Structure 1
Amino acid sequence: MSALDLLASAQPFAFDILERTASTPRVQAVVQQSLAPAFLLGAIGAIMNVIMSRMIWIAGRIERIEETDAEARAPRTARELAWLERRRRAAQRAISFATAAAVNISLVIGLVFISAYITAQIGSLIAFLWVLTMVLLVTGLVHFLHETRLAARGYGRDE
């Protein structure tokens, strides 16, 4: 099959897609349906910004401690380093889950648009991905809560 034949066979499909997407009210309805997931994506971004700010501070503090001579460090500094490592791991998990939620909600937005222009019914898939997004986000927030609780306790206390 030549490239010309391929283009000729794709022409009816292209016109069909163009015809389906030409309706302004239909496009407006799809945009309205995608607003809630889009706002959630913005909220996830704001949460990730807060977590990353904390993570940057933690990483900077770890670097400053590690620059000092290991033998000159006081036992208290070793406890602080262990505490900072626990906080960093919790923040990393929070970022990982929040990022997964952001990717997932982006898929939801894409599928909402696609679903308006295909005949296959994918509403159940979209609903499943929405619920999965919420599970990922809540899991990330639980890890963030753990990190903030570690920060509030300080490094001088055992868990």
Structure 2
Amino acid sequence: MIVDILSAGIATDLLERTASTARVQQAVELSLAPAFLLVGIGSIMNVMMSRLIWLAGRIERLADPVNGACEVSHAKELAWLRMRRKFARMAIKFSTGAGVVISIVIAVLFLSAYIETPIGSLVAILWVATIGLLITGLIYFLRETLLAADGSAKMEP
């Protein structure tokens, strides 16, 4: 069975291409910059998730009917927190999209060492899409932090 697979032209060609240490090294080198970007995106998302978790917990505590039946005084803060949560969710969605697309870039760059088809334009388009998604996510995150700074001043007695 394995001999049949290896005797096929595609499998043999793939094995010959991947046997080259230089090609593998080149593929790894090409994938390093996007991999570092992926680490950065993950770090940013960690901060975003921490804020979202805090917001969700605060909303639950204020809106909990068992512990004080959502007082009218909390209505303004709840609306503010829900708006912040909306922006935090959008920031996470776009940042996750950036992480997915940059992961595709890494895979494509790694595969480019083994295929003949020029894919530079595809990589460039994916890279620009990644940066666009990341910028959009960061804008939503900025909006959430500005709303937090504005609201905390307004919420103080």
Same fold (TM over 0.5): yes
Whether contact under 8 Å (1:80, 1:156) holds in the other structure is no
Residue 154 of structure 1: how far off its partner (Å): 1.4
Residue 76 of structure 1: how far off its partner (Å): 3.1
Query: Counterpart in 1 of 2:93?
Result: 96
Query: Counterpart in 2 of 1:25?
Result: 22
* Unpaired segments ≥5 residues, structure 1: none
* Unpaired segments ≥5 residues, structure 2: none
Pick aligned residue for 1:43 from 22, 40, 45: 40
Pick aligned residue for 1:116 from 113, 118, 129: 113
How far apart are the structure 2 equivalents of 1:8 and 1:49? Answer: 44
Whether contact under 8 Å (2:17, 2:114) holds in the other structure is yes
1:135 counterpart = 2:101: no
Task: Sort the Cα spacing of 1:31 and 1:145 in 2 relative to 1 into closer, same or farther, 3 A.
Answer: same
How far apart are the structure 2 equivalents of 1:114 and 1:72? Answer: 58
Task: Sort the Cα spacing of 1:21 and 1:77 in 2 relative to 1 into closer, same or farther, 3 A.
Answer: same
How far apart are the structure 2 equivalents of 1:8 and 1:122? Answer: 27
Residue 74 of structure 1: how far off its partner (Å): 4.0
Whether contact under 8 Å (2:6, 2:12) holds in the other structure is no
Pick aligned residue for 2:84 from 78, 83, 87: 87
Whether contact under 8 Å (1:62, 1:84) holds in the other structure is yes
Residue 15 of structure 1: how far off its partner (Å): 1.1
Whether contact under 8 Å (1:108, 1:126) holds in the other structure is yes
TM-score (norm 2): 0.90
- 1:70-111 deviation digits (Å, cap 9, x = unpaired): 995444310000000000000000000000000000000000
Give, as a single letter, the amino acid of the residue that structure 1 aligns with 2:58.
R
Report % sequence identity. 56
Query: Counterpart in 1 of 2:146?
Result: 149
Secondary structure of the equivalent of 1:124? Answer: helix
User: CA RMSD, aligned part only?
Assistant: 2.1
Whether contact under 8 Å (2:99, 2:130) holds in the other structure is yes
TM-score (norm 1): 0.88
Task: Sort the Cα spacing of 1:16 and 1:29 in 2 relative to 1 into closer, same or farther, 3 A.
Answer: same
Residue 30 of structure 1: how far off its partner (Å): 1.1
